[in-house]
Structure 1
Amino acid sequence: MFDVLVYLYENYWRPDACPDHDQLTRKLSAVGFESDDIEEALSWLDGLAGMAESCTQPQAATSMRVYTAAERELLGDASIGFISFLEGAGVLPPLMREMVVDRATAIGRVPLELEDLKIIVLMVFWSLGEEPDALILDELFVDDEERIIH
């Protein structure tokens, strides 16, 4: 499923640039994605689109997030730490954080891999028509092993 999401991010500037589900399913099948992965990704994106539509409310400047035991188990320490890093850097406001947590919960894999969480964060930005700044994109795309330390 995550490969489908990355493909959509790389090939469509915004969600509204994507064709309808039927045409998109055909395109994704033609590229070589499995039908189960396509269905799972499109269903997941429908949930994300629903949340993005409801993001018209003004956002609180600050909030504190207390994760439930189930969320901590699902996300794991690395993912929660990464979310906290993004919040601390000022690039993930509370409403977007909640979108990330909701969409991570919708995956249902325990624990969620950090690389998968990064794709979820990227898709939340994408769904809202926002692009993270270059340093955050670097955090989302570059593996720790490939990072050059100065």
Structure 2
Amino acid sequence: MFDILLYLFENYIHSEAEVFVDHDELTEELIKAGFESDDIYKALGWLEKLADLQNVETIPYLTKHTSASARIYTEDELLRLDTECRGFLLFLEQINVLDLETREMVIDRVMALDIQDFMLDDLKWVILMVLFNVPGHESAYTQMEELIFDEPEGPLH
């Protein structure tokens, strides 16, 4: 499923190509690309849920917290998000790439993935997908892109 999400993001969304609106056409295109029907439906459902998360009422527990609140991870989240991933999320909050809402969207979408070994690089892609799909976060998306794709030149001191 995660491979399909990456395929869609790289080939349609990120490249600014025209995205298929019709699910049947998109499903057919993905089958032609070699993906399984079951995984395709899971990936499309994942994307639909991401769109649903843009409504703050779907994340009601955010309205009760302030920016000074600390995020306590559940046991399942701790299993999926290792120390490096959690540290990266905190770093992105500190530099204002993620806010409370987008952080929770990212965690929600990470937990919805059907993936065994989740790594920091996977998290970065999920963050990009979330930020790309949330209106008003264009500068955060650009900043995240720069963090991922801009390789420093020369030796690091």
**Normalising to structure 1: TM-score of the pair?**
0.77
Partner of 1:7: 7
Please state how far the C-alpha of 1:135 moved relative to its aligned partner. 4.1
Correspondences of 1:51-70 after superposition (within 5 Å):
51-52=53-54, 54-55=55-56, 62=67, 63-70=69-76
Is the CA contact (8 Å cut-off) linking 2:27 and 2:40 kept in structure 1? yes
Q: Structure 1 vs Structure 2: percent identity of aligned residues?
A: 39
Relative to structure 1, the CA distance from residue 6 to residue 123 in structure 2 (aligned partners, 3 Å threshold; closer, same or farther) is: same
Relative to structure 1, the CA distance from residue 28 to residue 86 in structure 2 (aligned partners, 3 Å threshold; closer, same or farther) is: same
Relative to structure 1, the CA distance from residue 12 to residue 70 in structure 2 (aligned partners, 3 Å threshold; closer, same or farther) is: closer
Is the CA contact (8 Å cut-off) linking 2:128 and 2:141 kept in structure 1? no
User: Which sections of structure 1, spanning at least 5 residues, go unmatched?
Assistant: none
Structure with greater Cα Rg: 2
CA RMSD of aligned residues (A): 2.9
Secondary structure, counterpart of 1:66 in structure 2: coil
* CA-to-aligned-CA distance 1:49-98 (integer Å, 9 cap, x gap): 2112x137997761321112221112111111111111011110000000
Matched residues, number: 145
Please state how far the C-alpha of 1:108 moved relative to its aligned partner. 5.1
User: Which sections of structure 2, spanning at least 5 residues, go unmatched?
Assistant: none
Relative to structure 1, the CA distance from residue 55 to residue 127 in structure 2 (aligned partners, 3 Å threshold; closer, same or farther) is: farther
Please state how far the C-alpha of 1:111 moved relative to its aligned partner. 5.0
Is the CA contact (8 Å cut-off) linking 1:25 and 1:38 kept in structure 2? yes
